[in-house]
Each structure stands twice: as structure tokens, then as C-alpha cells.
Amino acid sequence: MQESDLFTSSDAPRPLPPGLVWLERFALAWEDALLEAITQIVVAAPLRHLRTPGGQRMSVAMTNCGPLGWISDRRGYRYSATDPQSGKPWPALPTPLQALATAAAQAAGFESFAPDACLINAYGPGARMSLHQDRDEDDLSAPIVSVSLGLPAVFLFGGRTRRDRPLRLPLTHGDVVVWGGPARLAFHGVAPVADGQHPRLGRQRINLTLRRAR
């Protein structure tokens, strides 16, 4: 075997696609505040498995905080100011989470990101998110900030069409990714989460997705 065979072109480091900024471990400075806030949010607005418009139960459990929350049901995907399960407004966006989102966006070159929606995705072992685009927001010039906590997961970042072979990003506890500009409408998803134990979150991956919805 030749030495060059150890590094085939498919394993070579590839630069990140334009519009994607990966801030490894960036959220760890806010770790305790984030975990405390999530604990309180899920008491007021419990995690639940939504149905797609087609009637499928999602493997990811979801809830929201902030002025607007993303929901899905037989009538479609949309943002709502109230939790359909309780009829009450979603819990407030915690100040540390707002600060983290603005700092991450700024580090990625977006000067004044002011999220009005935070979707909380909870993945147990085997949960996944199939390739999709985020296009329920009014202003597609605003970035999306995502915060990964707990078990690691392989994030799939595709291109402009569902058929482009996705780049695989291993996201771990504390990683923050900012998606904007040319990456904003890319297809993306999450491969099935492998079982494991995280010291702070147990058998779970939590992703916070902060968006400007309106």
C-alpha cells in the first residue's frame, strides 16, 4: 500500500461551505445557564412529538421559547405565539440564550441578530431529522444560530437540492453553528443519534435553533 492511499480524496479536509461558520465549544461559557433554562422551559412547555402535515409522528421531541414557536400539525408548518397544547404564550427567551445567539452571530459576521424564536429539539437514541429546508421565516437574510448539547450527532449539510451528497459535520456538546447567506436555504438534516451517556444530559441530544421568524 502506498502512503498516499491512507488519505484518499474523500477523507481530505474540505473547507466549510460558504455561509456556514462552525464555532466549536462556543456555548460552553454559557453551559450551566443554558441547562438551567432548558429545565425550566420544559416544565412550562413540555417536549412533545409533533406530527408532520402528512400525519407522521416526528422522532424528535420539540418545544419552543421566545415570542414565536415553530409548530407542525395536519394543517402545515408555521410559527405561533402560543403553545397549542396549553393555549399560553411560549416561555420567554432566556437572557443568556439571547446573549449567546447574538455573540455567535457577531462572531460569524452578522452584526445585530435579534432572534424572536427558539425551537428546542430533543433527540433520544435513534431519533433523526430527514433532509429539509428552513423556509417558514419571513426574512431569509437573517442567519440561523444552532447550539448542540448532550450526545454527539452527525449533522448533514446538503446543497441546493435534496440530491447533492451531504457534507457530514460531527457536532458535539457546546458546538454552535451559524448558517446564513448562501447556506441559509441549503438542505440539511441529522443522522440517527447513536445511543450513549452524556455526563450532563444523559441519553439525549438537545439542539437549540434560534431564528428570526418575523
Residue nearest to Fe ion (CB): 134
Q: Residue 208 binds which entry of ligand MD3, Fe ion, none, with Cβ cut-offs from 5 to 8 Å by kind?
A: none
Closest distance between ligand MD3 and the C-beta of residue 179, in Å?
A: 4
- Exposed, middle or buried: residue 13 (CB in 10 Å: 0-12, 13-18, 19+)? exposed
Closest distance between Fe ion and the C-beta of residue 2, in Å?
A: 41
Enter the C-alpha cell of residue 115: 432572534
Q: Residue 193 binds which entry of Fe ion, ligand MD3, none, with Cβ cut-offs from 5 to 8 Å by kind?
A: none
Q: How far apart are CA 176 and CA 101, in angstroms?
A: 9
Number of residues in contact with Fe ion, rule: CB under 5 A? 1
Q: 76-81, long-range: CB within 8 Å, 24+ apart, which pairs?
A: 77/53, 77/136, 78/136, 79/117, 79/136, 79/137, 79/213, 79/214
**Contact between 83 and Fe ion per CB under 5 A:** no
Give the β-pairing of 76-80 and 117-123.
Answer: unpaired
Q: Residue 119 binds which entry of Fe ion, ligand MD3, none, with Cβ cut-offs from 5 to 8 Å by kind?
A: ligand MD3
Q: Residue 118 binds which entry of ligand MD3, Fe ion, none, with Cβ cut-offs from 5 to 8 Å by kind?
A: none
- Touching Fe ion, residues 122-151 (CB under 5 A): 134
